[in-house]
Structure 1
C-alpha cells in the first residue's frame, strides 16, 4: 500500500538531487504548486494512546484539548495531547521539535547530513535528550510508504507543506488525526502560521506564540542593525544552467522572498512584470535574459544547485549586463543547508541561518559579489 505525495513539478529553478529513494520529490525550488482535485469534509478524531513519550516527546497531559483545526480537506479533531508525531512535510518537524516534542517519523531533509537531518534539527533533538526519528521511505515516483507510517503508531500526522490528496488524507486519518495543507497543496502559509497551527495541534499555543515573537524580534534586529537593507530592493531568483534563455524569479509570497522582506529589504517594484509570466499557481515567473534590464533591483539573491552553475551564470553575456550583476551586488546561496534554512524557514532554521546569511547579504549590498557562504568574487 502506498500514498502519493509527490512534490511540486519541475520548474525553472534548481530541484535538489534525491538522496536515495527516501528523499522527497519536492525540490528546494518550492516552485510549482501541485494542482490536486477534490476537497472532502472529513473529520478525524484522535487515537489518543501511546503512553510512551517515545523518542523525546513529552508525556504531560494538557488541558488544551480537544482542539479542532480546519483545513483544505475538512476538519481535524484532536482529543488529547499528541506524543508520537509523524511529519509528512518539511518545516513541520522543526516546529514540533521547537515545541518540545521529538517526532517519531520525518521526511529526509534536503540539505541535511548523510542521515538526512539538518544541523538545527539534530541540535534541537540532542538538547531535548531524544532519539533521532525514523526517516520516511518514498518510491521512485514519490509514493510514501503507508505501512511505515502505520508501524510508527502516530497519534498525529502533520503535512502542512505537502500535496496530500483528499483520498490520501482519508487513508491517513484512519491511522491518526491528520493535518494537511490549510488552503492549497504545497502552501503551509507563513512560518508564523505554521508555528501557530502546530502549536494548537500540540496544545502548546503559548509556547508557539513565544517562539514566533522571539524569531520576529531577531529579524527586526537584523533590519535595525543593517539600515542599508531597508534602502535596497531585491529580486530573488535561481542560477542559470546551460541553455537557459530566461531567469527564474520567485513571487512575493514565496518563503525565501518573505524572509528577505522581514529583514528589511523591499521586493522588486517590477513584480507585476514577473507575475504576468506565472502559470497557474506556480511560485515563480520567468524573465527573458534579453529583457532583464526591465527588472528593477538593487540586489540580486539566488540559490544554486551546484557551484558550477554560479560560474556559468556569471559568464552569461546577457546576465552580466544587468545592473545589479554589473555592479557586483549579488549573493548566491550554494551551501545546501543554508539553502534549506532560507527556502523553508522555520523557528529553528531562521536563527541558525541568520549568522551565515546576513553577512552575505551585507556584502552583496556593498557590491562585493558573494558567490557562496562567506566567499566573494
Structure 2
C-alpha cells in the first residue's frame, strides 16, 4: 500500500523533515533491539537517514545500583545534559548545513564516542581542514528525512521534556515510543545479559517511571505505547504513522515577550528557591536523624552529611541560575522530588555499608 511518504520519495525537494524520537521504558524492555531494527527498517524500506543514539554506549554507567559503582548521581545528570549539548551541535550543523565542531568544555571520551556513533551511521564525515578536527554533515543526512532515535530509559518526564525543548528550539519533529514490558520479563531478560543490573535497581525504576501522559502534558501528544516484545512487522504502520506525523508537524517555536517572561521567571524562581532551601534543609536534617537511628558509624555519618549538603547546594545553585526546568515551569514539588531521588541513591549506599558491618 502506497503512503504519502512513498509517493513523495526520499529525495523530495519539499520541506525539510528532521525529528527526534525518544524511546523510554524499563531496563531490558527491548528498547535497544527496537531502535536497531527500526533504524534498519526505515533505511531499507523508506530510504530515510536514521541515527540511533544509545545512552548506554555514549555515557558513563548510571549510578543505579546503590553500591557506589559508577559516577555520583549528580555527575550522571550532568553527563546527560552534556550529551544533549553534543546532539545540539549536530542538529545545528544539519539545520544550518554547516560543519560540526567540537564544543568547548567537553569530556573527550564522550565526545569521541558520539562522533564515532554518527560516523558509523553515515551521518557525518571527517574534514581535515583546520588544526582542530571538524566534521561535515553527510549528504544522506541532508537530502533525506532524518530521524534521530534516543535510546534510554527516560523514566522521568523531565528527562524527555529536555529533548522536547531541543525540538522546539529548532522546530523539529518530536515523538515518544514507550515500551510496555512486564516487570517479570525485564528481570528475566536482565539476568541473561552480560552485564546484569541489580534486581533492586529495576524494581526501583518500575516504581518511579512516569509514562507518557498526553492528557496531562500537551507536549507528549505524539506518543505511542507498544507492547514488548515488539514485532516490527505488526507495529510498523503505527510507528511509521507516528514518525510521519511528528516530521510533518514540527514543534513550533513560539516567540514570547522575553522581558516579561524573564521578570516572571525571577519572581517565581525567588519564591521557589526560598521554599526549596527550607524544605531541602529539613529533608537533610531528617535523613541524618534516620541515619543515626540506624546506627551508621560516625565517620560514615560525616561523609553522608557532606554528600547530602553538596547535593543540596548544587541543586539550589542550578535552581538559582534557572537551569532546572521540569515542565513549562519549575514547581517546588519537582525540585523536592528530584532531590529525594538523588538523596535516596546516596543514602542507600551508606545504609548498605552499615548492614555489611
Q: Normalising to structure 2: TM-score of the pair?
A: 0.25
Q: Normalising to structure 1: TM-score of the pair?
A: 0.24
Higher relative contact order, structure no. (Cα contacts within 8 Å, ≥ 6 residues apart): 2
Higher helix share: 2
Query: Computing the radius of gyration over CA atoms, which structure comes out larger, 1 or 2?
Result: 2
Higher strand share: 1
